[in-house]
Amino acid sequence: MKHATLKQRLTASEEERKLRYEIECSKTAIDAARNHFEHVVDPTLIDCYIYELNAAQLRYQFLLRSFKSWEV
């Protein structure tokens, strides 16, 4: 992006900011799901939070891969 216009650089900067925000939100979702999982005893809720935790972790991994490929 050496010869990018100012508008292109601002857009790229905004995209990076959004991606970083989504990554932070994903970390929060993982922590929340883990916390809920650790404090429930009902088997249905245990299954629910396992699913929620797995989904949050997959989203986090996807966002990290996106960020790494975007940086290159």
- Report the mean per-residue pLDDT for the chain: 89
| 57 falls within a domain | yes
| 53 falls within a domain | yes
Q: Domain of residue 47: give its range.
A: 23-71
| 4 falls within a domain | no
- Three-state SS sequence of 6-33: HHHHHHHHHHHHHHHHHHHHHHHHHHHH
Q: How many domains does the chain have?
A: 1
pLDDT of residue 2 exceeding 60, the answer is: no
Task: Determine the Cα–Cα distance for residues 28 and 71; give it in Å rounded to an integer.
Answer: 23
| 18 falls within a domain | no
Look up residue 9 and give its two tokens: 């650089």
For 39-67, how does the pLDDT look when each residue is reduced to its tens digit (9 = 90+)?
999 999 999 999 999 999 999 999 999 99
| 64 falls within a domain | yes
| 15 falls within a domain | no
Q: What is the pLDDT of residue 10?
A: 61
Q: What is the pTM of this model?
A: 0.78
